[in-house]
Amino acid sequence: MQHQPLYVAFCARPWQAPGVAVRPRPTLDDALRLGRHKFLAGQRVDMSAIADELGVNRVTLYRWIGPRDRLLVEVIWSLADRAITAADQSPSARGAERIVQIATRFIDTVIANPGMQAWLAGEGEHAMRLLTRHETDFQPRLIHAIERLLAEETDAGRLDLPADLHDLAYVMVRLIESYTYLDLITGEDPQTHSAEPILRMLLR
């Protein structure tokens, strides 16, 4: 077996001064983390700014995630997914009531989020397109999350509804959207308590 010369093996390793830690190369996860931080702070999620802060060029960031719309969707979905998980913290609620509680808490979280409100105020039409159009993949994931909750309660025998669960999840998501973006649609202040009785009626 032929061994490579020592100097070749040495030069193949990144040089670091003794006692100095090598900063790991940034990754897509770092970009998403920074995007979430900016979004929650009410700042514009800007591809160039994120690339600069990560120390990579914009082409690299684009190769990781695609255009700004894709980055926005991934950032917002990661926050939405966490919000749904956090909303499901009432072990005593079962069946339809569990679903209603999760949905209303989710709406509350979105309405109260300063980053979401800043984005809707600054880029309302663009935000609506990304959040409500099927092809951007945010809405389908939200529908799937609601359908999964409905299926859990149905499979456990705690919910029996005369409707296709996917169709019902779609209607629920459209209802959630209507109350979440009420200000953009009608100019009225969004109110979670208005959505709650409608959700209960759907799941009766």
pLDDT bucket at 181, cuts 50 / 70 / 90: confident
Helices (H), 113-164: 114-132, 138-155
The model's pLDDT over 7-64, given as tens digits with 9 standing for 90+, comes to 333 333 444 455 555 568 899 999 999 999 999 999 999 999 999 999 999 999 999 9
How far, in Å, CA of 111 to CA of 113, rounded? 6
How far, in Å, CA of 157 to CA of 168, rounded? 17
Using alpha carbons, select from 62, 68, 74 the residue that is nearest to residue 137.
74
The pTM is what? 0.84
